[in-house]
Structure 1
Amino acid sequence: MRASRKALIGAVSGTAVGAIGLGLLAMPATAGGAPELPDVSAPELVSSVLTADMPALAGTVEVENNLGLPDIPGQQSMLGTESARVYTDGKQGARVSFEQDTGEQIAVSNGNKAWFWDAASQRVTEYSLHEKQRKPKDATKDNPAELARSLVDKLNETSEVRVDGTARVADRAAYDLVLTPKPTERTLLREVRVAVDAETRLPLRLAAFANGSTEPVAQLSFTDLTIGAQPADLFTFTPPAGAEVVRPEPNKQRDRKPGEQEAAMADSSVIGDGWDTALVLRGKELLNSMGMADQGRPDQDKPDQSGVGPGAEADARQMLEQVGEKVTGSFGSGRLISTNVGGALITDDGRIAVGAVPKQVLIEALEQAK
């Protein structure tokens, strides 16, 4: 499964990490001239985006990236375009579906439960959501439009913001909101553009541009959109006859003893804010982010101190040696994987720093997260 598809599915099932949402931004070309709309100031537009209610909707979302990821021997390319059908009831319900050669993949959430269906394997994974996860609008936060809204909220204070005319997206009139990093921000991104629906203030498309490039490096957009109530049966899922149903154990995080919660949180850190934010992970979270953990190989039976089996760790290190640049510093040593939009610095002791930032910022993040 491509990275963009996996992330969208993860968002609906409540497992995606929003901090890495920059890899899912899109803005395909739109037809038609720029619509005439009443003037609106940048502060007014930002405020309306952040306070507007999420409407019930159905639409097609297209995800495209030009991240410049290195070719990884034996791995499927993560470049290209993906599209998905998305639905939300504006409250607790969300649904994303993909069509592919091997069959449909569907992720559904209704606030109480979440399901992931893979037609190729004939398997349904069913999740029970805890009370802490069932907050108002939790499901609508998984909508691609909410990814854009969250990004605007995060970057607003560290950006120069302007309204740069109007556009037409998914046959809807929109304002073009532009966020440019302030001079003090250390980032590889030049700007982020958000097309904001003139009627609902819903983000319709979002594009990230890197320094030195005139084309977006990552893009996300509605290509068609219908605002209005959706059938309730979209937000539940009945396993087909003969399907395997898997129910993972409930999250035991609430059952941790005093001190264990703090120890778990110490395994991940957010360093900085705004455009120069870096996320530092360690141990098994690293391999999960690379899609390499828990593959069931015999040599994974005995995890090391980081919680990662030696077989998976060996695979990761071998891959990094082929595609990563050797980096050393006070943090130790590791390999840097660079893209058009940022990078990931993976250390020899099992940590990773990721962000849309230069190499030096990743090094500093590792040093601060010790």
Structure 2
Amino acid sequence: MNTKRKAATVAVAGTAAGALGLGLLAMPAGADSAPELPEIGAQQLVGSVLKTEPPAMSGTATVDNELGLPAMPGVPALDAQSARVYYDGDGKGRVAMEQQSSELTYVLGDKEFWSYDSAEGTATRTALPADARDKHRSAKAAGADPTRTAAQVVDRLEESSTVSVDGTARVAGRAAYELVLTPKPDERTLVREVRVAVDAEKRLPLRMSVLTHGTTDPAFEIGFSEIEFGPQPERLFEFSPPEGTKVTESEAGRPDGSRGESGEEPQFRVTGDGWDTVVLTRVPQEMRDRAQGEGADVEGMLDRFGKPVQGEFGSGHVIETRIGTALITEDGRLAAGAVPEQVLRQALENR
């Protein structure tokens, strides 16, 4: 699997499984009558989606989350939240994600990437090499961006899917084709199909819906409720941290997950292909140390929200949602994907 597809896989698997914790949920847009559009072939539509780059635009992205995640103490519920998305049409972007009374802001400029947490009063600045902007473009904010998220899904899953066009829709006031990706019979996944609403004029994904077996309601849906095309103010793609913000300097990460000069372990590894892709990583040591601190009852929480499991990989807990599964081992390994538990077990045992 090449580097580009690995990066896309991580974004797709993380979104589908919900394991990376997308932090926004908003009211679904009202339904409009389906527009009449010229017929188009599925492969022609897929090709146009993969070739299209977002023009200068702004919009409000919303998520309808019915993953079936349990409510956890101290973790904000994924509701009543949204994100503003901006592009300059030349690679720079901004995503502002509302989280109850606070906001997470991500700004990608020419030479640096900023992330800012207003609740914590912290910001991280990442200096980007000349060739790194595209690789870093939506690494942290991809889950809030319907255009990038859906395009990555189409790119990654096209070869392992039956692809069709199923009518039309109207999203954020714009006419769109409904592109449907259905897993081929030999794919091991919890997902029944993914539907992508593609703007008929711009050929941009406007909405992505993930459906599971036994229901007609999406388990997960991300899309624009508002979108406008046109030049954006340059100031949106610059960032100056507010006074008193604690700023951390960071180096651009290695998107291919390779080892650095220090020989430290990569942040993630990908196994499988297509719909049964699994992402393997480790819970950060700092988080593990904090979990073992005084008053922490991680084992009790995992027992409450997951189920204990054992196997050749050791022991751990499985947490299941409608479209994804995560397996956390006692020694800090984590496997996640839009797959049944058995696929995660095999991925850990074959590591």
Shorter-chain TM-score range: 0.7 to 0.9
Quote the RMSD (CA, aligned, Å): 3.1
Q: Which residue of 2 aligns with 1:366?
A: 348
**Displacement after TM superposition at 1:29 (Å):** 4.4
Residues 323 and 100 of structure 1: is their aligned pair in 2 closer, same or farther, counting only changes over 3 Å?
A: closer
**Displacement after TM superposition at 1:122 (Å):** 4.1
Contact kept, 8 Å, 2:259 with 2:265, in 1: the verdict is no
d(CA) in 1 for partners of 2:183, 2:294: 38
Pairs within 5 Å for 1:236-315: 236-240=238-242, 242-250=243-251, 256-257=260-261, 260=263, 264-265=265-266, 268-284=268-284, 293=287, 300=290, 310-311=292-293, 315=297
**Displacement after TM superposition at 1:90 (Å):** 2.0
d(CA) in 2 for partners of 1:315, 1:349: 16
**Displacement after TM superposition at 1:32 (Å):** 2.3
Matched, 1:21 2:3: no
d(CA) in 2 for partners of 1:349, 1:118: 30
Q: Which residue of 2 aligns with 1:7?
A: none
Where in structure 2 are there 5+ consecutive unaligned residues? 1-6
For normalisation by structure 1, the TM-score amounts to: 0.80
Q: Which residue of 2 aligns with 1:108?
A: 107
**Displacement after TM superposition at 1:283 (Å):** 4.2
**Displacement after TM superposition at 1:33 (Å):** 1.1
Residues 185 and 70 of structure 1: is their aligned pair in 2 closer, same or farther, counting only changes over 3 Å?
A: same
Matched, 1:347 2:329: yes
Aligned mate of 1:150, from 149, 152, 155: 152
**Displacement after TM superposition at 1:39 (Å):** 0.5
Moved more, 187-196 or 206-215: 206-215
Q: Secondary structure at the match of 2:287?
A: coil
Matched, 1:321 2:325: no
d(CA) in 2 for partners of 1:237, 1:340: 38
The aligned amino acid for 1:20 is: G
d(CA) in 1 for partners of 2:138, 2:40: 30
- Deviation string 1:40-59 (CA, Å, 9 cap, x unpaired) is 01011011110112211100
Q: Which residue of 2 aligns with 1:80?
A: 79
Residues 137 and 360 of structure 1: is their aligned pair in 2 closer, same or farther, counting only changes over 3 Å?
A: closer
The aligned amino acid for 2:321 is: T
Moved more, 86-95 or 188-197: 86-95
d(CA) in 2 for partners of 1:163, 1:274: 20
Contact kept, 8 Å, 1:124 with 1:243, in 2: the verdict is no
d(CA) in 1 for partners of 2:155, 2:295: 37
Contact kept, 8 Å, 1:164 with 1:177, in 2: the verdict is yes
Contact kept, 8 Å, 1:208 with 1:217, in 2: the verdict is yes
**Displacement after TM superposition at 1:120 (Å):** 3.7
**Displacement after TM superposition at 1:249 (Å):** 4.1
Pairs within 5 Å for 1:120-269: 120-135=119-134, 138=137, 142=142, 143-240=145-242, 242-250=243-251, 256-257=260-261, 260=263, 264-265=265-266, 268-269=268-269
Moved more, 121-130 or 199-208: 121-130
Q: Which residue of 2 aligns with 1:65?
A: 65
Residues 158 and 335 of structure 1: is their aligned pair in 2 closer, same or farther, counting only changes over 3 Å?
A: same
Contact kept, 8 Å, 2:125 with 2:250, in 1: the verdict is no
Where in structure 1 are there 5+ consecutive unaligned residues? 1-13, 301-308
**Displacement after TM superposition at 1:228 (Å):** 1.5
Contact kept, 8 Å, 2:61 with 2:83, in 1: the verdict is yes
The aligned amino acid for 1:92 is: G
Aligned-residue identity in percent: 46
Contact kept, 8 Å, 1:268 with 1:281, in 2: the verdict is yes
Contact kept, 8 Å, 1:92 with 1:137, in 2: the verdict is no
For normalisation by structure 2, the TM-score amounts to: 0.84
Q: Which residue of 1 aligns with 2:3?
A: none
Tell me the matched-pair count: 331
- Deviation string 1:81-114 (CA, Å, 9 cap, x unpaired) is 4211110112221111244553444221113112
The aligned amino acid for 2:168 is: T
Contact kept, 8 Å, 1:189 with 1:356, in 2: the verdict is yes
Residues 273 and 252 of structure 1: is their aligned pair in 2 closer, same or farther, counting only changes over 3 Å?
A: closer
Residues 347 and 120 of structure 1: is their aligned pair in 2 closer, same or farther, counting only changes over 3 Å?
A: closer
d(CA) in 2 for partners of 1:336, 1:252: 29
Residues 244 and 205 of structure 1: is their aligned pair in 2 closer, same or farther, counting only changes over 3 Å?
A: same
d(CA) in 1 for partners of 2:32, 2:250: 51
Matched, 1:32 2:41: no
d(CA) in 2 for partners of 1:277, 1:313: 36
Q: Does 1 or 2 have the higher relative contact order (CA < 8 Å, sep 6+)?
A: 2
- Deviation string 1:109-128 (CA, Å, 9 cap, x unpaired) is 11311223334444443322
Residues 121 and 64 of structure 1: is their aligned pair in 2 closer, same or farther, counting only changes over 3 Å?
A: same
Q: Secondary structure at the match of 2:249?
A: coil
Contact kept, 8 Å, 2:337 with 2:344, in 1: the verdict is yes
**Displacement after TM superposition at 1:196 (Å):** 0.2
- Deviation string 1:5-57 (CA, Å, 9 cap, x unpaired) is xxxxxxxxx9x951302236999344321111110010110111101122111
Q: Secondary structure at the match of 1:293?
A: helix
Q: Secondary structure at the match of 1:80?
A: coil
d(CA) in 1 for partners of 2:253, 2:219: 38
d(CA) in 1 for partners of 2:269, 2:135: 26
Residues 135 and 102 of structure 1: is their aligned pair in 2 closer, same or farther, counting only changes over 3 Å?
A: closer
